[in-house]
Amino acid sequence: MCLLPVVAHAQEYPTRLIRIIVAQAPSSGPDLAARTLGQKLTESWGQQVIVDNRPGANGIIGGELVAKAKPDGYTLLLGVPSALTVNQFVYKKMPYDPVRDLAPVTQIATNTFGVVVTPTLPAASIKALVALAKSRPGELIYASAGIGNLTHLAGELFSQAAGVKMLHVPYKGTTPAQVDLISGQAALMFVPMRGVAEHVSARKVRLLATCGDKRDPAFPDFPTLMESGYPGVVMIGWNGLLAPAGTPADIVNKLSREIGRHLSVPEFRDRMASLGADPSPSTPEAFAAFIRAEAAKWQKVIRAIGLEHSQ
C-alpha cells in the first residue's frame, strides 16, 4: 500500500503543460535541441512541452528558476557545462547549488570541440602549434567567448598539458571571437565544431585537431588531441535535462526513459546530427556521475589559473 502513491506518480505524469527552461538565447544549440525534443515529447505524451528562453548571467538566471521551482516534473532545465560544472567555482556567491538543488535526468547530446587557427598562422599541426607557442611565449592570442566560458577553459587545459603560455583575449560571445580569428587578429581558438564547421569547409580557418575521445565523424581525417600526444586533454560540449531536486524518482526515470527512446530513433538522431549534436542519452545516475567528473576537471583548471571565486 505504501508504494501506491509512487506508482501513481509515473502513471499519471504528465497531465499538463511542461516547460523546459533554456538559459541560452533562441536559435542557440541548446535551444534547438530543446525544441526538437519538446516537439517529440508533445507528440508522444499528448501534453504540450514548451521552451522558455531565460538567457543571462552565464546561465545562472535560468538555473535558479528551475532550482527553486516546484519539484513535480513540470519545470525542467536544459543544462550546459558552464551552468553545471563551472559557475560554482568562479562566482563567489551563487543563488543555488547545481549539485544540491538540481536532479540530473539524462544527458541529451554532445558536440566536439576543435582547435582552429587563423589561416596565416605558420602551424599545420598540433606539434607545430606547440613549437610555435614555445618559441613565442605569451604572444600567441587565443580568443574565447568570455572569461570562464568553456572556450576559455579549454585553452587553459591545453596550455597546461602542452607546457605553453598563450595570451587569452575574451570576447562578448563566440561570433566576434571568430571574426577576429578569421581576420588574423587572433591566432587560434578552441571552439565547438558546430559553430565553426562552415568556416573550416570554406578555409576561412584551419582545423588542426578535434578534442573528443574519438575522431569527429564529420572530420574523420583530422586527429584528436589524444592522438596528437595529449591523452588527458578531452573537451566536449554537451547538454542535458535536469529537474528540481526532490522531484519524485519515478518521474525522473520516466522522463529519462522517454527521452532515451526518442534519441535512439534514426530520424531523430539524424535531426540532432544536422544541428551538430551527437545524441547521447544516459541514466540519471550516469549523467550525475558525468557532471561530477566534469566539475572536478574544470575546478582543477580554474584553481590553477587563479580564477576560483574571482567574480
Of 80, 150, 152, 83, residue with least CA distance to 110: 80
How high is the pLDDT of residue 7?
53
Distance of CA 200 to the CA centre of its chain: 21
Is the CATH code 3.90.180.10 the one for domain 4-109+237-304?
no
pLDDT tier for residue 1 given thresholds of 50, 70 and 90: low
How high is the pLDDT of residue 270?
85
Between 143 and 26, the higher pLDDT residue: 143
- Over range 140-147, report the average pLDDT: 94
Residues in the chain: 311
pLDDT tier for residue 10 given thresholds of 50, 70 and 90: low
pLDDT tier for residue 173 given thresholds of 50, 70 and 90: confident
Between 10 and 64, the higher pLDDT residue: 64
Fold of 112-210: D-Maltodextrin-Binding Protein; domain 2 (3.40.190)
pLDDT in tens, 26-60: 888 889 889 999 999 999 999 999 999 999 888 99
pLDDT at 8 over 70: no
How high is the pLDDT of residue 69?
98
- Over range 192-199, report the average pLDDT: 88
- Per-domain residue ranges for the chain? 4-109+237-304, 112-210
3-state secondary structure 233-282: CCCEEEEEEEEECCCCHHHHHHHHHHHHHHHCCHHHHHHHHHCCCEECCC
pLDDT at 280 over 60: yes
Residue 27 and residue 46: Cα distance in Å, rounded?
25
- Which is it for strands 102-117 and 206-210: parallel, antiparallel or unpaired? antiparallel
Between 199 and 268, the higher pLDDT residue: 199
Please determine whether the domains at 4-109+237-304 and 112-210 fall in the same fold group of CATH. yes
Q: Helices 174-183 and 193-201 meet at what angle, rounded to 10?
A: 30
Host H or E run for residue 22: strand 18-22
pTM of the predicted model, to two decimals?
Answer: 0.88
Helices then strands, each counted (H, E), the chain? 12, 10
Share of the chain above pLDDT 70, in %: 97
* φ, ψ for residue 136, nearest 5 deg: -130, 65
The DSSP code for 99 is: T
168, 152 Cβ separation under 8 angstroms? yes
Cα dihedral 83, 87, 89, 94, rounded to 10, equals: -110
How high is the pLDDT of residue 56?
86
Of 102, 92, 104, 91, residue with least CA distance to 58: 91
- Over range 63-79, report the average pLDDT: 97
What are the respective helix, strand and coil percentages of the chain, to the nearest 5?
A: 45, 20, 35
Instruction: Tell me the CA distances in angstroms from 125 to 79, 118, 141, 186, one per residue in order.
Output: 33, 13, 17, 17
C-alpha grid cell, residue 184: 588574423
- Out of 55-59, 197-201, 240-244, least confident range: 55-59
Q: What is the mean pLDDT of the chain?
A: 92
Instruction: Tell me the CA distances in angstroms from 51 to 36, 37, 117, 157, 262, one per residue in order.
Output: 10, 10, 35, 33, 18
